[in-house]
Every structure is written in structure tokens, then in C-alpha cells.
């Protein structure tokens, strides 16, 4: 009995499942177009837009760009993993000049899933 390849056994079912769960499918070409070069691990414009939408009055365009840069430059070490975890948990902060204090930022909304954008690609 032939098991089949990874694409048919794993990738295609996962893509179908993600789309059924409401994720937006991006072709590899579209995903690449949404990234700033081959090495960017994020959909740059989506991340910048979401940072602003999920953190109104806290994150503007300039801050969103800085946060994006921090995220894509996370070190490939255990310390970098910890930094990434802090971003995901909403523990990272930015300085809000109007309030003269640091505020936590969110990369996603855990209570209102419709406020988030989920993408999948192959």
C-alpha cells in the first residue's frame, strides 16, 4: 500500500481545513507579493494594518513599522523565542507620547476572532 506524498497526505488537507475555518488562502505568488522580499516571515502590509486596527490610539503607522521590524528581526535563539512569545502574549509595549507611558500591544484579539486576519499558503 502506497502512503502517498506529503502534499496529498498533509498539505492539501491542512489547506482545506484552514479555508473551512475561515482563513484566507493566498497562492504562493500572492503571499510573496504581500511580503517585503523572500526573507520576510510575515505578510508585512497585513501586520502593519492589524497592529493599528487592534491597538487604536496606541499604535500609529510609524510605530507599526517599528514593531514589524522588531518582529521580523527576532533572534533565532531561545532568547528570540522568548521575545516572540512576549509579542504573542501581548506583553511587549510601546511608548504612547500622548499618555506619557508604555502600553501593551496586541498582535491578535483572542476574544473577537473576527477582528483578526488569518492566512494560509502553500
Kindly report the pTM of this predicted structure.
0.84
* Residue range of the domain that includes 21: 1-25
Residue 3, pLDDT score:
65
The 3-class secondary structure across the chain, one letter per residue, is CCCCCHHHHHHHHHHHHHHHCCCEEECHHHHHHCCCCCCCCCCHHHHHHHHHHHCCCCCCHHHHHHHHHHHHCCCCCHHHHHHHHHHHHCCCEEEECCCCEEEECCCCCCCCHHHCCCEEEC
Tell me: the pLDDT tens digits for 34-79?
998 888 889 999 999 999 999 999 999 999 999 999 999 999 999 9
Between 98 and 82, where is the model more confident? 82
104 and 63 both lie in a single domain: yes
12 and 53 both lie in a single domain: no
66 and 91 both lie in a single domain: yes
Residue 35, pLDDT score:
92
38 and 91 both lie in a single domain: yes
Tell me: the pLDDT tens digits for 89-110?
999 999 998 899 999 999 999 9
Within a domain: 122:
no
Amino acid at each position: 500500500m502506497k502512503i502517498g506524498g506529503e502534499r496529498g497526505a498533509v498539505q492539501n488537507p491542512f489547506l482545506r481545513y484552514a479555508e473551512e475555518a475561515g482563513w484566507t488562502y493566498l497562492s504562493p505568488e500572492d503571499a510573496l507579493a504581500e511580503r517585503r522580499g523572500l526573507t520576510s516571515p510575515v505578510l508585512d502590509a497585513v501586520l502593519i494594518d492589524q497592529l493599528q486596527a487592534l491597538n487604536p490610539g496606541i499604535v500609529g503607522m510609524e510605530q507599526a513599522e517599528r514593531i514589524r521590524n522588531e518582529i521580523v528581526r527576532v533572534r533565532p535563539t531561545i532568547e528570540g523565542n522568548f521575545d516572540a512569545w512576549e509579542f504573542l502574549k501581548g506583553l511587549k509595549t510601546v511608548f504612547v507620547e500622548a499618555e506619557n507611558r508604555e502600553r501593551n500591544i496586541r498582535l491578535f484579539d483572542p476574544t473577537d476572532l473576527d477582528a483578526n486576519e488569518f492566512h494560509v499558503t502553500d
